[in-house]
Structure 1
Amino acid sequence: MSSADEILDIVDEQDRVIGQSPRGEAYAKGLRHRCVFIEARDAEGRLFVHRRTPTKLVFPSHYDMFVGGVVGAGESYDDAALREAEEELGVSGLPRPTFLFKFLHDDGAGHAWWSSVYEVRCELPVNPQVDEIAWYGFLSEAEVERRLTDWAWAPDGLAAYEHLKTLRAAG
């Protein structure tokens, strides 16, 4: 089964399931669904940053400071967060990611999804999925901040990053 055929729950403005659809159709029709974003840090506290492959269905070749992806039909956000983090980082045995907050990402141009944001410490050697990740590195927060204007970032990840910075600044 290709990623475009994966079945997703379609949700309303309150994140209640109202139907199901294959991922490709959900993207093509701009149907609201669920995603997880996981901030992964290494033992030194550096942030895992990567460039998406050019074959990704959304935001190909963009940089992102989160690993993650869609929540499958009937799957919980928490289960999807652990699954996606382990898949994309190429590890097994991660601690369960810690939930931070949830927000509705809607760019007004057909990209709308409920986004559940998590964090996890990954002290294991990573082996990222080559079909998902074209480049990666663990960067300091200062380096990420310097790159924000230099690199093309996935807009949803950038929105999650900005929400997270605001949350952390508020204490």
Structure 2
Amino acid sequence: MNPADEILDIVDENDEVVGQAPRGEATARRLRHRCVFIEARDPEGRIFVHRRTPTKLVFPSHHDMFVGGVVGAGEACDDAALREAEEELGVPGLPRPERLFTFLYESAEHTWWSYVYRLRCELPVRPQAEEVAWHTFLTDAELERRLPEWTWVPDGLETYHRLRAFRAGEAGSAA
């Protein structure tokens, strides 16, 4: 199936389903839908970072520090997170990603409810060639150094900053 033909649930500002539309139409008409973002770390704690293929419908050839994607019509977000992680990392049988938080992403071109997860990937990755043009694992410090140097997907960059704030809140509440 062409990714543009995938049917998505269209949701309102409260994340309630109000209809359905093909992905291409949802993107073209800025219809709000749902996406999952999974931070995948290797056994050493390094973050999976990749460059998207030039054929991607949204943000082609941009770098990203998350794997993930759209949630299909009627699909549970937790199921979509596992599916997307297994597909993009090329690793079947992963543990279910842990949901951390949700937020509404909005830009002039796009709007979606963003479900943010974390996952520890103990197995070697074999990224999906249709999704991932290049990949590596970076330490947090290495990733921070690359932020001003590389072109990042804007939703992933916003998610990354929100994840850092979330972690700072977790650390502050544990003290």
Query: How high is the TM-score relative to the length of structure 1?
Result: 0.98
- Per the alignment, residue 24 of structure 2 pairs with 24
Matched residue SS, 2:88 = helix
- Per the alignment, residue 137 of structure 2 pairs with 138
- Per the alignment, residue 10 of structure 1 pairs with 10
Q: In structure 2, what is the Cα distance between the partners aligned to 1:15 and 1:47?
A: 29
- Per the alignment, residue 116 of structure 2 pairs with 117
- Per the alignment, residue 41 of structure 1 pairs with 41
Q: In structure 2, what is the Cα distance between the partners aligned to 1:125 and 1:150?
A: 27
- Per the alignment, residue 102 of structure 2 pairs with 102
Identity %: 72
Runs of 4+ in structure 1 off by over 6 angstroms are none
Q: In structure 1, what is the Cα distance between the partners aligned to 2:20 and 2:125?
A: 33
- Per the alignment, residue 53 of structure 1 pairs with 53
Query: How high is the TM-score relative to the length of structure 2?
Result: 0.96
Letter in 1 for 2:150: W
How far has the Cα of 1:110 moved from its partner?
2.4
1:84 aligns with 2:76: no
Q: In structure 1, what is the Cα distance between the partners aligned to 2:105 and 2:139?
A: 26
Q: In structure 2, what is the Cα distance between the partners aligned to 1:168 and 1:35?
A: 21
| Contact 1:105/1:115, CA 8 A, preserved across alignment | yes
Q: Could you list the per-position Cα deviations for residues 25-82 of structure 1 after superposition, in whole angstroms to 9, with x for gaps in the alignment?
A: 0001010000000000000000000000111111111000000000000001100000
Letter in 1 for 2:147: L
- Unmatched 5+ stretches in structure 2: none
Matched residue SS, 1:124 = coil
Q: Could you list the per-position Cα deviations for residues 100-137 of structure 1 after superposition, in whole angstroms to 9, with x for gaps in the alignment?
A: 00000001x12000000000000111110111000000
Query: What RMSD, in angstroms, separates the aligned Cα atoms of the two structures?
Result: 0.5
Matched residue SS, 2:24 = helix
- Unmatched 5+ stretches in structure 1: none
Matched residue SS, 2:109 = coil
- Per the alignment, residue 149 of structure 2 pairs with 150
Q: In structure 1, what is the Cα distance between the partners aligned to 2:153 and 2:142?
A: 17
Letter in 1 for 2:46: R
| Contact 1:46/1:139, CA 8 A, preserved across alignment | yes
How far has the Cα of 1:169 moved from its partner?
1.2
How far has the Cα of 1:86 moved from its partner?
0.2
